[in-house]
Amino acid sequence: MGLSGYTETFDLTISIPNLKNQDGEIQIGIYNTAETFPHVDKQYRVVIIDVSRFSGTYTIKDLPGGEYAVALMHDENKDKILNTGFLGIPKEGYGFSNNIRPLLSSPSFKDCKIALNRNMKITINLIY
């Protein structure tokens, strides 16, 4: 029997195999509700990693068991936003859990959600 109110936690390891260069930062946003996904500054947890120190994987420790969606951004110029060009097409790399490739709008939490009920490793391929 567990302690009352105790929530089991797990580690989520994220592999990003296709960075196109060593510039800037990677921003990993972990979301736990459909209402906040994928809005910047509404993440449940956010991690920013200097690309020059990134080994290809990063582990987010001690996430309570539950459903999450992950949004990544390769912020090459470190301005904390996903820069876009003509027609709003991103100029920097981005990606989502389940490797969802959005067409005309942001993907849904439902499409990107993962059930974290054990230590997990996922791979997210960035879209450039």
List of domains in the chain: 9-123 (2.60.40)
pTM score, whole prediction: 0.92
- 54 has pLDDT over 70: yes
Helices of type H across 1-128:
109-112
Half-sphere exposure of 117 toward its Cβ, with a 13 Å CA cutoff? 3
Task: List CB contacts of 6: < 8 A, sequence separation 6 or more.
Answer: none
Helix (H) and strand (E) counts for the chain? 1, 8
Distance from CA of residue 9 to its chain's centroid?
Answer: 18
Residues of the chain above pLDDT 90, percent: 83
Q: What is the pLDDT of residue 78?
A: 96
Q: Which residue has the higher pLDDT, 54 or 5?
A: 54
- Cα separation, 72 vs 58, in Å, equals 12
Order of strands, sheet of 120-123, starting from the edge strand that comes earlier in the sequence = 57-64, 9-15, 120-123
Residue 3's pLDDT is what? Answer: 52
